[in-house]
Amino acid sequence: MSRVNFFALPLICFLLHGLAALAKIAIENPPFVFGNSGEDKLKRAFLNVDTPWDNDDVLSKPPYSLYVTLENFPNPFIHASLCNRNGLNYSYVCDPNKILSRSTADKLEEILSYQRRNSSHHCADRGEVPYVLGVALIERLPYGVSAETFSSQILEHWKLGNRNCNDGILLLFVKDDATFVLKWRKGAQSIINFRTATAMNKSFNMYIRRYSLEYSILRAVTLTSQYLTEEIIPPTQTAQIVVALTIGIVVGLGYLACILIVFSDAQKGNI
């Protein structure tokens, strides 16, 4: 029995060593780490996806997606660098997972800048102001959180829109399931509404099927910008124009009919 134990002991030690080594392998890393100390609570550290965990208890950590929450998803108007927009004081694009290349993100900034310069609507408190469109990109959503909920939270958290105008608009892209979500505030409903968003979403899905990821995102942001600058007439406005034209044609035909009747009666009177 002692001889069996003598040979079994090294084998058991070897297995335990192997399990300990496996426990130290990093599974997946969060973009942010929040410490438990008072000082760390005031400081956010942005980590590259290749950065290992700061402790060895990896197997007890939940998946990366659980760590992407409203609390740690950065605000590009405050921390542009955390949104992968290095060198800018603020940005309208937030891509903390580095889904886009720098050149593509710069193109998005140009599109959004053009949109702000060329869109306008009336705000009771500020007069004519541009629509404010922001773009958020995320690798995958937090566990148990829908894209609709997450986009609504980000729209609120970023405080998108002109002050007291309630006119912010957010386009969220989730890479994991190739999903676009468009959210807007009440002040933007004259141009973006359920019918408009439905039509735009069909185009977004078509882009994903036909084009590369980055080009699809570029097309989606461009399309949204074109609606806001009214280079594309929203379906609701198109319907209103059709109704107005129809009424105009009917009224015009009515006047023409009256003129013809009067003219016909005059001709009969002359006979």
pTM assigned to the model: 0.64
The pLDDT tens digits for 241-263 are 445 456 667 666 666 766 767 66
Sheet with 168-174, side-by-side order of all strands:
93-94, 132-138, 168-174, 179-184
Burial of 163 (0-12, 13-18, 19+ CB in 10 A): exposed
Q: Cβ contacts of residue 177 below 8 Å, gap of 6+?
A: none
The CA distance from 180 to 1, in Å, is: 67
The pLDDT tens digits for 94-118 are 999 999 999 999 999 999 999 999 9
Q: How confident is the model at residue 187 (pLDDT cuts 50, 70, 90)?
A: very high
Neighbours of 56 (CB within 10 A): 13
> Which residue in the block uniquely carries the two structure tokens 């929450």?
69
| pLDDT value, residue 58 | 33
Q: Which domains does the chain have, with CATH numbers?
A: 64-235 (3.10.310.50)
Please state the separation of Cα 164 from the chain's center in Å.
Answer: 22
